[in-house]
Amino acid sequence: MKRICADLHLRPNSKDPEHVSQIISKASRLGYRLIALTFPSNLAEEEIRRLVDVSKEAKIDLASRVDLEPRTPRELIHGLRKFRRRFEIIAVVCESKNVARQAAKDRRVDLLNFPSLDFRSRFFDKAEAELASNGLASLEIDMKPLLTLEGPARIRLLSNLRREVAIAKKSHVPIVISSGVSDRVLMRKPKELSALASLFDLNEASAIEAISKNPVAIVKRNRDKLSSRFVAPGIRIVRRGNDC
Amino acid sequence: MKSVRRRYLALEIDSDELFDSKELMDVVWGAVLKLYGEYGASRAGLTLIDYDMEKRFAVIRTVHTTVDMVRTALTSITKIGNKPVAIHVLRVSGTIRSLYKKVNK
């Protein structure tokens, strides 16, 4: 069976429909079969449906994603309550330790994203990984900074990523590699992203998993949960009627 | 002496601009040097085999042990001069003939 490659973090300008279509068709051309676009949380349902239709034309599966950037754990919980049933993927941008810890242990969070380049502000340590391994969250690594940074900043980032990947592997936290780009020129093929991952010591097999198996599993799990047949993990409605 | 096993990479230059072969190879060498240093670059044995500027298509040669390294370096290229560009590897092959066969399929 052919592997499905996914990029769960594309950030086109949602106000420019042409740009969105260009990003979708380029993703399809590069070999992705599943993508997630980051939508503003207030985007209308009709607009999401329209984009799903556009992606169907490009023979690509589109998942809806929202990035939460809470300042406090309380804000995070509020956001999760509000958006969990509206979006297929919820990523939390962890800019403080308290938020990172809350996001790691909350089973409604799919992806943990650490945007900061500062070593002290990246909170993916052993404790965070332990919490994430008990929950459902995966560590998301955006490749955009690796392409745009140069010199000492890229060296520091690579060193941080190497450390985080080692921790994630040790604690069995799934890793998801995404592009995180809003510009078409920065989009890369799945194999190229996995080649870049070798820079932070992620071996080829793990990198391919991080581009295909892990992101696909997240989307599948959430689609199951969001379907009307879902009751609880492991329990779903098979048939409705009087004769059941 | 052990013979060198070579690999040929077909490249697509994804940009709205046109670049000459020197500009292309300079940026490829620059990317390899930046990521792997002079030692790494010396192992790669990079050579431009074919370049069609209009079709934005190139073939480069490297050693089989450094294919992944070259692929990573090519991925990291985002600009030639100040013009945005992406270089995608279309195919990798052991002979030029089979490379063209695969690309033209």
Task: For residue range B28-74, list pLDDT tens digits in order.
Answer: 999 999 999 999 999 999 999 999 999 999 999 999 999 999 999 99
Residue A242: is its pLDDT beyond 80? Answer: no
Q: What is the pLDDT of residue A75?
A: 94
d(CA A39, CA B80): 32
> Which of B68, B84, B86 lies nearest to residue A188, judging by beta carbons?
B86
Q: Answer whether residue A177 is part of any domain.
A: yes
Tell me which residue of A74, A86, A102, A96 sits closest to A40, measured CA to CA: A86
Q: In this complex, is the C-beta atom of B13 within 8 Å of any C-beta atom belonging to chain A?
A: no
Q: Where are the domains of chain B?
A: 6-104
pLDDT band with cut points at 50, 70 and 90 for residue A237: confident
Q: What is the mean pLDDT of chain B?
A: 93
Residue A240: is its pLDDT beyond 90? Answer: no
Q: What is the mean pLDDT of residues A129-151?
A: 92
Q: What is the pLDDT of residue B1?
A: 62
Task: For residue range A15-41, list pLDDT tens digits in order.
Answer: 888 899 999 999 999 999 999 999 888
d(CA A109, CA A217): 14
Q: How many other C-beta atoms are found inside a 10 Å radius of the C-beta of residue A8?
A: 29
Tell me the chain B residues in contact with residue A191 when contact means C-beta distances shorter than 8 Å.
Answer: 71, 89
Of the candidate ranges A11-20, A174-183, A232-241, the one whose mean pLDDT is the lowest: A232-241
Task: For residue range A161-182, list pLDDT tens digits in order.
Answer: 999 999 999 999 999 999 999 9
The count of domains in chain A is: 1
pLDDT band with cut points at 50, 70 and 90 for residue A123: confident
Q: Is B82 exposed, middle or buried (0-12, 13-18, 19+ CB in 10 A)?
A: exposed
Pick the CATH number of B6-104 from 3.30.70.100, 3.30.70.3250, 2.60.40.10, 3.40.50.2300: 3.30.70.3250
Residue A207: is its pLDDT beyond 90? Answer: yes
- The residue among B2 and A111 whose pLDDT is bigger is A111
Q: Answer whether residue A243 is part of any domain.
A: no
Q: What is the pLDDT of residue A81?
A: 93
pTM of the model: 0.90
Q: Is A113 exposed, middle or buried (0-12, 13-18, 19+ CB in 10 A)?
A: buried
Q: What is the mean pLDDT of chain A?
A: 91
Q: What percentage of chain B carries pLDDT values higher than 70?
A: 98
Provide the edge-to-edge strand list for the sheet that holds B6-14: B47-52, B57-63, B6-14, B86-93
- CATH label of the domain that carries residue A62: 3.20.20.140
Cα–chain center distance at A39: 13
Q: What is the mean pLDDT of residues A129-137?
A: 91
d(CA A195, CA A158): 14
**To the nearest whole angstrom, how far is the Cα of A83 from the nearest Cα of chain B?**
35
**Interface probe with A: pick from B34, B76, B92, most Cβ of A within 10 Å:** B76
Task: For residue range B8-17, list pLDDT tens digits in order.
Answer: 999 999 999 9
Q: In this complex, is the C-beta atom of A26 within 8 Å of any C-beta atom belonging to chain B?
A: no
pLDDT band with cut points at 50, 70 and 90 for residue A2: confident
Q: In this complex, is the C-beta atom of A185 within 8 Å of any C-beta atom belonging to chain B?
A: yes
Q: Where do we find the tokens 């958006």? A: A83
The boundaries of the domain holding residue A104 are 6-236
Task: For residue range A73-105, list pLDDT tens digits in order.
Answer: 999 999 999 999 889 999 999 989 999 999 999
Task: For residue range A106-121, list pLDDT tens digits in order.
Answer: 999 999 999 877 777 7
Q: What percentage of chain A carries pLDDT values higher than 70?
A: 99
Q: Answer whether residue A1 is part of any domain.
A: no
